[in-house]
Amino acid sequence: METRRAILTCERTLDFVPGSAIPRKTLKDLLRAAMSAHYAGTDSPRHFLVVREESTLGELAELAWEDPSVGSASIAIAVCADNRTQRHMGQWVVDCSAASQNIVLLARDKELGAAWIRVFPHRSRMRVLAKFLRVPHYLTPFSLIFVGRPLRPLRKLGASADETKIHIDKW
């Protein structure tokens, strides 16, 4: 799939085909895409925790806050920021966003569905996820992305740009 089509069909998937496996190569590609996202400074502040265990995915889905139906996903990827490598105050939010978006876009490119669950800036979500996944104290959970085969084909979202929010040269 081409990049443009992946972007324009990048709707959130909440229903996945139960029991569908993600090939190891696809998982590596998703992680490589995440790690390829631009970041500020010289050291990437991001770490990725992959959850493949079905029972753990089910428990994570109950913590998903937004929709527990994501539990039938094949994998979940927790994107976390390493507070030890932050060179530019607060930049890790942008860095982790870019990594999360790359996962979602490449998943769509590979005809997979993805649900990006917001963890940051909700402190209670951050604490619960860190405890559940045993994340080291120096990492901050940013997002949780469920990936799997979508139950229904994703539709093209089309151009939904609000022309009143586009300005050329000057405001």
Domain count, the chain: 1
Query: pLDDT: is 159 or 16 the higher one?
Result: 16
Tell whether the model's pLDDT for residue 126 goes beyond 70.
yes
Domain presence at residue 157: no
Residue 109: inside a domain, yes or no? yes
Does residue 171 lie in a domain region?
Answer: no
Mean pLDDT of the region 148-168 = 76
Q: What is the mean pLDDT of residues 93-122?
A: 92
Burial state string for 107-125 with b = 16 or more CB within 10 A and e = fewer than 16 = bbbbebbbbbbebbeeeeb
pLDDT digits (tens, 9 = 90+) for 34-75: 999 887 766 678 999 999 999 999 888 887 666 667 888 999
Model pLDDT, residue 156: 64
DSSP codes of every residue in 63-74: T-SS-GGGGG-S
Domain-embedded: residue 111: yes
- Examine the pLDDT at 159 and tell me if it is beyond 60: no
pTM, two decimals, is 0.88
User: In terms of residue numbers, what domain contains 140?
Assistant: 3-150
CA distance 70 to 169: 43
The token duo for 67 is: 């929709």
Output the domain CATH number for residue 36.
Answer: 3.40.109.10
Is residue 17 in some structural domain?
A: yes
Other residues' Cβ atoms within 10 Å of the Cβ of residue 84: 10
CB 31 within 8 A of CB 8: no
Percent of the chain scored above 90 by pLDDT?
A: 48
The token pair at 119 is: 């963890």
